[in-house]
Amino acid sequence: MAKSDPIPELSQVPVHVGVIMDGNGRWAKKRGLPRKLGHKEGVKVFRSITRRAKTLGIKYITFYAFSTENWKRPKDEVDAIMDLFEKNLDEVKDFIDEEIRVRFIGDRSALSPTLQAKMLNTEKSSEHFTGTTMILAINYGGQDEICRAVKKICESGTSTDEITPQLIEQNLDAPDIPPLDYVIRPSGEMRLSNFMIWQAAYAEYYFTDILWPDFTDADFDEAIIEFSNRARRFGGVK
Ligand code: IPE
Ligand code: IPE
Ligand code: MG
């Protein structure tokens, strides 16, 4: 199958896919390289999978890039990851040429002013695209996002009987983006690690042992084909 071909046999395509990009460190370690080179390699895969998602007609794809818990890592690793974000936001121009809308979720206030400015800029230059939206989760934690939503609700003076799941959803970081249909996690770990815990309430899950830097477009296609065979009931009867 050529890289640009859609998969022909799909009966359903997920509207919103979440990807927990994991295994960069182990990939580097296996090769005797510093962990930061694993992250660098992981960025290449992220770029390729974003394009593949667009080809497959996936409307929303969210990548977990840095969690609220990842600050616990050694400073040089955190600095290297932040550098990669800055560099790649300069290179995101080709996504914009390809009409991919870019959004961010997470608490931006802890990020450098330069990075925050680049994030805003990227969102602005791509906000008019209507095809595929790529969402990057940076300094993101599901618990933190829900907490921040609850704070906003309290500050607005809402009375307790007005509190509904819909109201909480409206106060999350990207209220216009639909919930996750599918969560893909490479690297063999079978957990969410605080990724979109609200939005993943009815998601399907796909775990694979492949480390993120080794994850190919064909591996992504395989995951998407697997999704098309899942029967979803949302608590009902089918
Ligand atoms: C995922 O790869 C990238 C981030 C969490 C930033 P890891 O760095 O967690 O790789 P492993 O899990 O140590 O192999
Ligand atoms: C999850 O990976 C966070 C990201 C991929 C950004 P981690 O490597 O941080 O997760 P744990 O620590 O194994 O749960
Ligand atoms: Mg990890």
* 19-66: pLDDT as tens digits: 999 999 999 999 999 999 999 999 999 999 999 999 999 999 999 999
pLDDT in tens, 156-185: 999 999 999 999 999 999 999 999 999 999
Q: What is the mean pLDDT of residues 176-202?
A: 98
The confidence score (pLDDT) of residue 4 equals 64
> Which of the residues 22, 173, 181, 221 is marked catalytic?
22
24: CA distance to ligand 3 center in Å? 7
CA distance 232 to 230: 6
- In the residue annotation, 22 being an active-site residue is answered as yes
User: Which residues does ligand 2 sit against, CB inside 6 Å?
Assistant: 20-22, 64-67, 70, 189, 191, 193
Q: Which residue has the tokens 């999978």?
A: 49
Sketch out the chain's domains with CATH numbers. 16-228 (3.40.1180.10)
